[in-house]
Amino acid sequence: DTAVSQTPKYLVTQMGNDKSIKCEQNLGHDTMYWYKQDSKKFLKIMFSYNNKELIINETVPNRFSPKSPDKAHLNLHINSLELGDSAVYFCASSQTPDQPQHFGDGTRLSIL
Amino acid sequence: QKEVEQDPGPLSVPEGAIVSLNCTYSNSAFQYFMWYRQYSRKGPELLMYTYSSGNKEDGRFTAQVDKSSKYISLFIRDSQPSDSATYLCAMSVTGANNLFFGTGTRLTVIP
């Protein structure tokens, strides 16, 4: 059983489109995160939710909007995709905000 | 200057060698230190989690933290080809939230 699962695994789309990435965790964790990993493998946090409430919102364009319908899900919607959005997006979860994080396998987003 | 600096490698060692991976950091408020292993096309997997200074051992892996020098290390003993991966250090001020990652060191263990 996959603990943190993301869909889709690969996403290829054109500039200007709107797309969503879904994340689900079956670990019973309270806290979920979105990270962006660029082409140089640098991993940077974007958002963090605890019990469906936003607790971290790093400097991310407002074209990116996270949505947490329940504690087990944190989806990422991206409007008006740009070339610079091409990256691997990782979802993660932890029991509480101060516990170690468990990562999904990433969604590889390519903008044409 | 980045918050966390890590030599990207690549690093190649023969099977059985002792591997030393290192990170330096600039923020003296960091208290929680982690090492993650990332295989190709996979997400980071937590290897070691330590608080403040000192050593922690888990099987073939030993994590060291020297807060006075702002330097952390991961040692892998008796390295195996299955250890071939990218190793990421990460650290935070409060718990494991809001992690700052290094760029990762790519390790290859040659049979």
Write out pLDDT tens, residues A1-60: 569 999 999 999 999 999 999 999 999 999 999 999 988 888 999 989 888 888 877 778
Q: What's the rounded mean pLDDT across residues A75-98?
A: 94
- CB contact (8 A) between residue A101 and residue B46: yes
Closest Cα of chain B to A105: distance in Å?
Answer: 4
pLDDT over 90 at B104, yes or no = yes
Mean pLDDT of chain B: 92
Q: What DSSP character marks residue B15?
A: T
Listed by number, the residues of chain B in 47-106 with a beta carbon closer than 8 Å to a beta carbon of chain A are: 49, 86, 88, 90, 94-99, 101, 103-104
- CB contact (8 A) between residue A40 and residue B103: yes
- CB contact (8 A) between residue A104 and residue B94: no
Q: What is the pLDDT of residue B54?
A: 85
pLDDT over 90 at B24, yes or no = yes
pLDDT band at A100 (very low <50, low <70, confident <90, very high): confident
Q: What is the pLDDT of residue A55?
A: 82
pLDDT over 90 at B97, yes or no = no
